[in-house]
Amino acid sequence: MKNRNPRRLLGLMLAGGLAALQAPTVFAAAGTTISNSVTLSFQVGGVAQTDITSAPVSFIEDRVINFTVTEGGVAGTTNVAPSATAGVTYVVTNNSNAPLDFSLTALQGTGDNFDTNTPVSFFLEDGTNPGYQPAEDTVAVTFLDEVPAGGGSVEVHVVATMPDNTVVTNGDVASITLVAQAAEGGAATVQGADITNDDNGNVSPGGTANDVADNAATMDDVFNDAAGTLDSTGAADVARNGQHSADDSFTIAAAELTVTKTSAALWDPVNTNSNPKSIPGGYVTYTVTIANAATAGASADLTTLADTLVVDLALDPDFTDGTAANNPTSAAGDSFEIDTTGTGRPSAGASYCTAAADADGCSYTGGPGGDISVDLATEMPVEAGYTAGELKPGETVVVRFNVIVQ
């Protein structure tokens, strides 16, 4: 668990255009002048008289600011690999009687395991597939623009890059809170000023001011938003403050790899294979076991296994079998054994590759103290249910080779 500082403000206000994803309800627009009069019909002595109509009375419809932020896209946490970039999704819905802009702020959590890398970005959902799709959701914004009144809504992704696997491990969680602040609408593509107080004495993001009596000749503002989770300062959100928020999270889905290397004396020129010793001219088998824990949240796509021998060792080019005759295990020139018995691959079993730098993916360069390279993506190829080099949770692959003591 990392040291947690007070909640940090990640996001800056968003800027840009967007499309409403939900048709709004038709409201009388805030700021509309509403005018009417009354008409009186009467009689005198049973004779109808001319109706009397009062002078019209007018008032301006006030603006009620009511909106919500909810989790959108794929429900629940978003699984993501270390170092990967991903997005969590929110829907901002404007239930006011006027179009509004919205400033957006992203906050990191305080009771979780890690913070995402900063800064975060904001992208609009294009409607093709749910959740953030980087090839589809390409419109970056810095605020939400002209969200229609009466239930118009916009889906927006908070996109961040995760720390690498030296910082986070499988199952670690980073929570993200998206805070929307009501702002003035009316000018497309231009961010309106935040609406920081209403005429009932409420101040955004918190506090009170003097209440203002209704003025029929002006458009008053009335905050009517519910309490979200947090306000833009990281404090608990309160109702009727011109802000609303919701929480989402990233969960690290990572491989849990261990690499173990062991050695065992195989053969020597004095004892052959009867209780052999690691004397000059003797053969020692190295066994490298790569395991992905059953508790892992993701497969690992293995690429290259590298080993630089010390000058006291040279590679056995034939991966000999340790019998008294010390014959090649497979065939002369097959230097490495790759054993996938511990996987569910259709081809599971032992295979061999040469030390020559060729298409089989294995090589050894130099004499004593040379460099070994085993391309596991080649040795564990694409096949039914598996990508190249894939090691699923609960699986192991073993690489064996012999060295000759100098």
Q: Which residue has the higher pLDDT, 12 or 214?
A: 214
pLDDT, residue 24, reads 56
pLDDT at 389 over 50: yes
Q: Which of 18-27, 230-239, 366-375 has the lowest mean pLDDT?
A: 18-27
Task: Look at strands 100-108 and 173-184 and give their pairing.
Answer: antiparallel
Averaged pLDDT for residues 43-67: 95
Average pLDDT over residues 9-34: 55
Burial class (CB in 10 A: 0-12, 13-18, 19+), 56: exposed
pTM beyond cutoff 0.85: no
Beta 243-252 vs 78-80: how paired, if at all? parallel
299-320 pLDDT, tens digit per residue, is: 999 999 999 999 999 999 999 9
Say how far apart CA 347 and CA 275 lie, in whole Å: 34
How much of the chain, in percent, has pLDDT values that exceed 70?
93
CB 67 within 8 A of CB 95: yes
Task: List Cβ neighbours of 215 (8 Å cut-off, separation of 6 or more).
Answer: none
Confidence of residue 25 (pLDDT cuts 50, 70, 90): low
User: Given the DSSP bridges, would you call strands 100-108 and 283-292 parallel, antiparallel or unpaired?
Assistant: unpaired
Where do the domains of the chain lie, and which CATH numbers do they carry?
63-252 (2.60.40.10), 257-405 (2.60.40)
Residue that the structure tokens 């509004």 belong to: 100
Angle at 244 between CA 240 and CA 248, to 5 degrees: 155
What's the CA angle centered on 156, arms 150 and 160, to 5 degrees? 160
pLDDT at 287 over 90: yes
Supply the pLDDT for residue 280. 98
Q: What is the pLDDT of residue 4?
A: 38
Which residues on neighbouring strands pair with residue 89, listed in sequence order? 157
